[in-house]
Structure 1
Amino acid sequence: MTDLSLGDLKALSAVAAHRSFRAAAAELGMSPSALSHAVAGLERRLGVRLFNRTTRSVSLTEAGENFLARVRPAMREIADAVETVNRFRDTPAGLLRLNTSEGGAERVLPIVLDFMATYPDMRVDLVSEGRMVDIVEAGFDAGLRLAEAVPQDMVAVPLNMPEAFAVVAAPECFATRPPPRVPADLFAHDCIRTRMPSGAIHRWEFERQGEEIRIDPPGRLTLGSHELSLRAALAGAGLAYVTERAARADLAAGRLVRVLADWTPPFPGLCLYYPRQRLPSAGLRAFIAHVQRHGQRHAQLHA
């Protein structure tokens, strides 16, 4: 009988989830080469190949899929057993894995840091990426996304931190053309388009008195992030559609001018979400409560 450790199983599961030794190694806190050697050693001990490897991708073999399908329930049982023991602790301990977008990570980082200061035995792995992932399959405890993007089978906890988009431009952009008063006026201006991580162009969304409009404005420049769009707007390249929070300092200093403000009202912002079918760990329950307290304080300050 081949001896397998829980560490061996976690390594296999991480590589399968990420389809990458580099990403899995980052999650496990080890080097990619060490992880690759560990998996290769395990394959030799089992006598079967668990992964197909190329220079660009890693995928499970049929044997690997069958093996992990059998051991994952046992891994969840072990994790639940450890969590049961942790409930007897005075304070939660362990690793909390969160998935969000880059903008979401920036927004939630102060909450995470305050949470870690409150619970010194907790560790947090905050992973930011543009694409949506299945947090269960990828091994995350919870995700943080805009409310409209949260899957319907998840429990969503609002952060109570409203956001708003803003159409902004450098003052010189309106030297020869009047500022737009309605979204249709944007077609007379040069706009800076933003491409989403999925490859789709981010449509500009407007709402006023129940009327909703989504447009892909004209523009010679398309960039890969709202941060770059903001920088291009500051350089006078055209009108950009960015978060009001990101542009706030430049608006206050007069480096940018906001237009169509009555068409870009606040919206709910980020939600913390987690699987409905899974009992939250002590660490996740503590983080949920921490997020709710932070949201209450934020709402009181901005009431």
Structure 2
Amino acid sequence: MRADLLDGIVIFTRVAEKRSFTAAAVELGVTTAAVSWSVKRLETRVGTSLLTRTTRSVGLTEAGELFLQQALASVANVEAAIEAAQRMGVNPAGLLRLSVPYVAQTLIEPVLDGFAAAYPAVELELVFEDRFVDIVAEGYDAGIRIGEMIAQDMIAVRLTKPSPLTVVGSPAYFARRGKPLRPEQLSEHACINVRLFGGALYRWMFTERFGRGEPRTFAMDVKGPLTVNGPATCTSAAVAGVGLTYNIASVVEPLVRQGLLEPCLEGFMPESPGFFIYFPNRKQMLPKLRAFVDFWKQDHQ
């Protein structure tokens, strides 16, 4: 396809409709010479004359009549496309694609029904994945990640407050096995592992404080009867009594309130920086994305 494919077509349709180079120039706000030059270039590209010219009138050749019929429809489609894009630049509408980590699934699900009702013209597509994603190259409008996992060149807007991490298990599990009092005692417990996108197992992080000195942060490999590739399954398995799982406290808080899970090792848990939604440029924050962020903040007040 030629880069200059559409050059001169709008000017040609105006000349053909007005039957005048001068009237077309006035409507378009350019000189008559510019209109004449543009039409001549178009005729050169097409390879035939489209207009007949005399000192008193302008008419259409047979090829020009055929060309005009097709060109008017194309120009109308382009104008409609521009108007649609302009409307999207003002009103929240269209496809909103978000890359979301599995661990945020239980946080984002409660807002879906309300957002869909508030913005029926927005089609929300959520892609759950734990790998690092180039949101621009892969066609996402934005991504949601824990703060420490966001590239420095991205604009990040906080969605959740910082939250401690937690180890949780079901009441039935703790009734059978008891609660560990120190991280080292996890070797005596059934722990549910998560296989990361790159193939490694996720290591459980802990912090131990000694008086007023700097806390010691350390990671542990854990063992157990189950390995999965996402925290949602870990949580379900923990509720079922399979073993202990490691998660963000705010993510499993609803299940703790319901009495389905209980925390342990509270004095050894580091803090997660919270979730952020990120995108490449504030100027590229379209109304559909702004609507999602504003709705989330209002819902979490």
**TM-score scaled by structure 2?**
0.60
1:24-68 residue CA offsets vs partner (Å, 9 max, x unmatched): xxxxxxxxxxxxxxxxxxxxxxxxxxxxxxxxxxxxxxxxxxxxx
Task: Give the 3 Å change call, closer, same or farther, for CA 278–222 of structure 1 in structure 2.
Answer: same
Query: Deviations 1:220-270 (Å, cap 9, x if unpaired)?
Result: 432333333334434544332234456546545655442102223553321
Cα offset for 1:167?
Answer: 1.6
Unaligned runs of 5+ in 2: 6-78, 210-214
Structure 1 residue 2: Cα displacement: 8.0
Specify every segment of 5 or more residues in structure 1 that has no aligned partner in the other structure, as ranges: 6-77, 298-303
User: What is the TM-score when the length of structure 1 is the normalising length?
Assistant: 0.59
Bigger radius of gyration, 1 or 2? 2
Contact 2:106 2:251 in 1 (8 A): no
Give the Cα–Cα distance (whole angstroms) in 1 for the partners of residues 88 and 299 of structure 2.
Answer: 23
Residue 224 of structure 2 is matched in structure 1 by 219
Q: Distance in 1 between matches of 2:89 and 2:283?
A: 19
Shift in Å, 1:146: 1.0
Residue 155 of structure 1 contacts residue 275 of structure 1 at CA under 8 Å; is this kept in 2?
A: yes
Report what 1:124 is aligned to.
124
Provide the identity percentage: 34
Structure 2 counterparts to residues 229-240 of structure 1, below 5 A:
229-240=234-245
Deviation at 1:275, TM superposition (A): 0.4
CA distance, structure 1, for counterparts of residue 185 and residue 195 of structure 2: 22
3-state SS in 2 of match to 1:144? strand
CA distance in 1, matches of 2:146, 2:256: 24
Contact 2:103 2:232 in 1 (8 A): no
Q: Give, as a single letter, the amino acid of the residue that structure 2 aligns with 1:133.
A: V
Q: Sort the Cα spacing of 1:162 and 1:113 in 2 relative to 1 into closer, same or farther, 3 A.
A: farther
| Aligned-pair CA distance for 1:164 | 4.1
Q: Distance in 1 between matches of 2:105 and 2:247?
A: 16
1:113-262 aligned within 5 A: 113-171=113-171, 173=173, 179-209=179-209, 210-245=215-250, 247-248=252-253, 251-252=256-257, 256-262=261-267
Decide whether the 8 Å contact of 1:226 with 1:242 is kept in 2.
yes
Q: Which letter maps to 1:169?
A: G
Cα pair distance change 1:111/1:161, threshold 3 Å:
farther
CA distance in 2, matches of 1:246, 1:285: 24
Q: Is the 8 A contact 2:155 2:282 kept in 1?
A: no
Mapped contact 1:205–1:215 kept (Cα < 8 A): yes
8 Å Cα contact 2:194/2:230 also seen in 1: yes
State the Cα RMSD in Å.
Answer: 3.6
